[in-house]
Amino acid sequence: MPKKIAQLWGSAFEKKTRSRVIDFTAGRDVFGVPPADVVLLPYDVWVNLTHCVMLYRRKIIEARDAQAILTGLSEIEALVKRGKFPIDPQQEDVHTAIESCLVAKYGIDKAGKLHTGRSRNDQSTTDVRMYLRDKAVAFAEEGLAFVASLIKLTKKYESYAMPGFTHHQHAMVTTFGHVLLGWALMVVRDVQRFTHWRALHNRCPLGGGASYGTSIPIDRELTATLLGFDGPELSSFDGLTNRWEAEADLAFAISALMNHLSQIAQTLMVFSTPEFGMVKLSDEYSTGSSMMPQKKNPDPLEVIKAKASIAAGSLQSLLGIGKANFIGYNRDSQLGKFVLMELIEETLPSVSILKGTLTTLTVNRERMKEWCSKGFIGATSLVEQLVARFHLPFRLGKIVVEKAVRYSKDQGVVTFPSLQRALKEEKMSVQISEAQVRAWQTPEVILHATSSFGGPGKKSLQESARILTQELVRLKGWVKEKTNQRKQARATLANEIKKVIN
């Protein structure tokens, strides 16, 4: 029988590349995306159910009409959950599709009352706001899982000496744990941005109509509660005129996160090259070449970098859509949901992919340490020890060591004769031994001497990790609280529906 192949590489791999990694790197090459309003279907049903309950509670519609509408919406919701509720393109949008279905079943005399006291403008804005709210929590959850892994890895690698870099050149000795903790702090700030987004935008636009409210005596507090919002938008005008703002704010939070992930990805790619050899990526998070048998490529990391650029472009698009809006709802703001939905679907998996890459890689401790004896990486420590022990002016001590670096040429470390020569030229008498010059440039001595808070010293690293862990716990509590708020809103709505139908 002819041999079948699923992909054009991988026979040299010891472990099979994970399927989600393949999906992530293939992306839109093979996977389509659902229409935006298909994504919004469950939110629009929730909004409709809530609006109907409110209309009944306010005695704007009669019980028999509310019962018919709620029964029909519950049936539609069941179909949506099974993926069985289609949207006919001729119906224009999700709102029309749902209302048309209800009218077809119950007639316009009953179903036609559902749209009382609202517009598609505030309805659509509410749908999107609820979608964004869920995604903000989803990003926070993914980010916190990543941070927890980074804290765990920080403890594992807290004593793994490695070179730190500035300008892509050797700078000072640090530890891999120090770098990992720095990455964890970046992602924690990203999670905090998602919590800030919710604090800014978890207000309910429903009831704003076409920007200027409605003369129907609706209850916006009730609908806000049943939809899980912190309250209604204080201004129907503001909530709809600035529809782009919540989208752009979330896009910024995502873009900042992706920039951080891109930084981590680029660093791991460089560290994994044969020239550095400091880490080795797992086969599970690598791909191969269709031509070169030996290749093991960091494709997932490269894709993350590209998605960071996509995020920046999406943010710019959303800011542009919101620019120079005239007062009131504007149809151009509707296009923002396409941009943001694509952004979310493209970027959300990046967090767990990078988490998996880091937790499965192999660290070459000896190779890291070897790089700590190159590029005069101990020169700064040597200056600091001269200053601290012999009370030299820092600027003068730096001049001496700069000359010593020049005289040491290609040694990679400052030699004792070179330092003596530099001291003599500067007419300085310092009682220093060759053993001291050598020791003050070794990773172990440098890290032991580095005790400043926030640095790579072991005690400082452990204290920073402790403080970060406390924030991690707080943020996990926030996620739980917001998830429960959503569940409670749904449960309250379900009880209200039962009261009407029964």
Q: For the purposes of burial, counting CB atoms within 10 Å of the CB of 452, is it exposed (0-12), middle (13-18) or buried (19 or more)?
A: exposed
pLDDT digits (tens, 9 = 90+) for 202-260: 999 999 998 899 999 999 999 999 999 999 999 998 988 888 999 999 999 999 999 99
With tokens 């007639």, the residue in question is 107
- What average pLDDT score do residues 73-89 get? 93
One-letter identity of residue 324: A
pLDDT of residue 11: 55
Give tens-digit pLDDT for 402-454. 999 999 988 889 999 999 999 999 888 888 999 999 999 999 999 998 888 99
Q: CA-to-CA distance for 497 and 502, rounded, in angstroms?
A: 8
| pLDDT 10s digits, 254-279 | 999 999 999 999 999 999 999 999 99
Please determine, for residue 40, whether its predicted confidence score (pLDDT) is greater than 50. Answer: yes
* Structure confidence at residue 360 (pLDDT): 92
Do 436 and 442 form a contact (C-beta atoms < 8 A)?
no
A 10 A CB-CB count for 391 gives 8
Q: Has residue 4 got a pLDDT over 80?
A: no
pLDDT-above-70 percentage for the chain: 95
**CB 185 within 8 Å of CB 98:** no
Can you give the three-state secondary structure of 89-152, one letter per residue? HHHCCHHHHHHHHHHHHHCHHHHCCCCCCCCHHHHHHHHHHHHHHHHHHHHHHHHHHHHHHHHH
| pTM > 0.75 | yes
Residue from 268, 266, 293 nearest 360 by CA: 268
CA distances from 342 to 27, 240, 298, 335, 389 (A): 12, 22, 24, 12, 59
Residue 480 C-alpha from the chain's centroid: 18
Q: Rounded to whole angstroms, how far apart are CA atoms 162 and 427?
A: 35
Rounded to whole angstroms, the Cα distance separating 439 from 307 reads 45
Alpha helices in 207-334 (DSSP H): 220-226, 236-241, 243-271, 299-321
Share of the chain above pLDDT 90, in %: 74
Contacts of 426 (CB under 8 A, 6+ apart): 396, 399, 400, 403
For residue 298, pLDDT beyond 90: no
**Per-residue pLDDT tens over the stretch 126-164:** 999 999 999 999 999 999 999 999 999 999 999 999 999
For residue 110, what are the contacts with CB-CB under 8 A and spacing of at least 6?
A: 64, 65, 68, 69, 102
- Contact predicate 252/318, CB 8 Å: no
Instruction: Please compute, for residue 254, the number of CA atoms within 13 A of its CA located in the half-sphere on the CB side.
Output: 36
Q: What domains does the chain contain, in order, with CATH numbers?
A: 1-32+121-201+232-366 (1.20.200.10), 374-441 (1.10.40)
Residue 7 has pLDDT above 70, yes or no: no
Amino acid at 411: Q
Which helix (H) or strand (E) covers residue 161, if one does? strand 161-166
Torsion of CA 405, 407, 411, 416, to 10 degrees: -80
Mean of all residue pLDDT scores within the chain: 91
Q: Which residues are catalytically annotated?
A: 167, 289
What integer pLDDT is reported at residue 23 of this predicted model? Answer: 76
Is the pLDDT assigned to residue 332 strictly greater than 90?
no
Closest of 146, 374, 384 to residue 278, by C-alpha: 374
For residue range 164-186, list pLDDT tens digits in order.
999 999 989 999 999 999 999 99
Question: Position 165: which residue type?
Answer: F
- Label residues 481-499 b or e (16+ Cβ within 10 Å = b): ebeebeeebeebbeebbee
pLDDT surpassing 90 at residue 21: no
pLDDT value of residue 109: 93
Residue 5's pLDDT band (cuts 50, 70, 90): very low
**Residue 9: pLDDT above 60?**
no
Which pLDDT does position 37 carry in this prediction? 87
pLDDT confidence tier of residue 6, bands split at 50, 70 and 90: low
Catalogue the E-assigned strands of 22-66: none
With a CB cutoff of 8 Å and minimum separation 6, the contacts of 435 are none
Q: How confident is the model at residue 12 (pLDDT cuts 50, 70, 90)?
A: low
pLDDT bin (cut points 50, 70, 90) of residue 1 is very low
Residue with tokens 């020569």: 421
- Which residues neighbour 243 within 8 Å (Cβ) at sequence distance 6 or greater? 125, 128, 205, 322, 329, 333, 336
